[in-house]
Amino acid sequence: MRLAAVCPIFVALASLSAMPWAHAQDHARLEGVWSSTLTTPEDPRWRIEDHLCGMCTPSEYEHLQRLLADPANRDRGLRELQQEARTTSRLEIDQLVTAAARERFASITQPADGSATCDPPSLLVAASGGPLPVSIELRDDHVILHNQHWNVVRTVRLSNAAPIATGEPSLYGNATARLEGSTLIVESVNLLPIATTEAVTTAKARVVERYTANEDGSRLDLEVAIDDPDTYREPRIWYRPRMRTSDVQIVEDDPCANLEE
């Protein structure tokens, strides 16, 4: 009887003692340098769909997986399968775009070239579009996200509270981050509107990044969702896979150093 009475206490203590270790494991899975298919194409851990996707929508990635797994497509070329998945994805995206956003897309004549004016990239590009390595460093109260593309470094406070817009809108706005197991979630608001052929947004946009490490910490699946009712009828999501590359170091380069004055 006495043993039965204290067992729940032992169970509770065991659970509490396991929690820090579990968190440490989750942190270890997320921290490090992560590379894309464009910078480490020979890495044998990549899947065929990773190379075909690069950066795409989750539905396009899943479509590629189905096409590759279907024996009926054995004699079809990879480019053909890639084009089929991409076309289907474009049709789905087209259904998400509002009438107002279509007008804004129509007014864009060419992709914005930040390299000519030394303009840093938008949050969408900094988070998912950049092909160069990125690093994640977790601290007690903040996370440091360093993208070698344009040497973008973001320090984001860890908090369960949603970000609050303060001051004027800016390129990377106001953000908070939180951890859910081996997933790091970064939420940003108060952002300057984006206007490219790939995406347009308004000042109302909320961007949510989800970095999810697999069980052995070798792979990182990144999803970036733009929630902007004036532009998309439901969140527009981009997906990019990355691999842990312990032998790669982030190069802190000045992207504007070689521009003519």
Q: What are the pLDDT digits (tens) for 222-238?
A: 999 999 999 999 999 99
Q: Is the pLDDT of residue 14 over 90?
A: no
Beta bridge partners of 243: 35, 219
Give Cβ neighbours of residue 126 (< 8 Å, ≥ 6 apart).
120, 147, 149, 150, 152, 154, 172
Q: By the 8 A CB rule, do 229 and 96 touch?
A: no
State mean pLDDT over 193-218. 93
Q: What are the pLDDT digits (tens) for 87-98?
A: 999 999 999 999
- Residue 128's pLDDT is 85
Q: Is the pLDDT of residue 256 over 90?
A: no
Q: Could you give the percent of the chain with pLDDT greater than 90?
A: 72
Query: Pseudo-torsion of CA 141, 144, 145, 150, nearest 10°?
Result: 140
The three-point CA angle 188-191-197 to 5° equals 110
The pTM assigned to this predicted structure is: 0.87
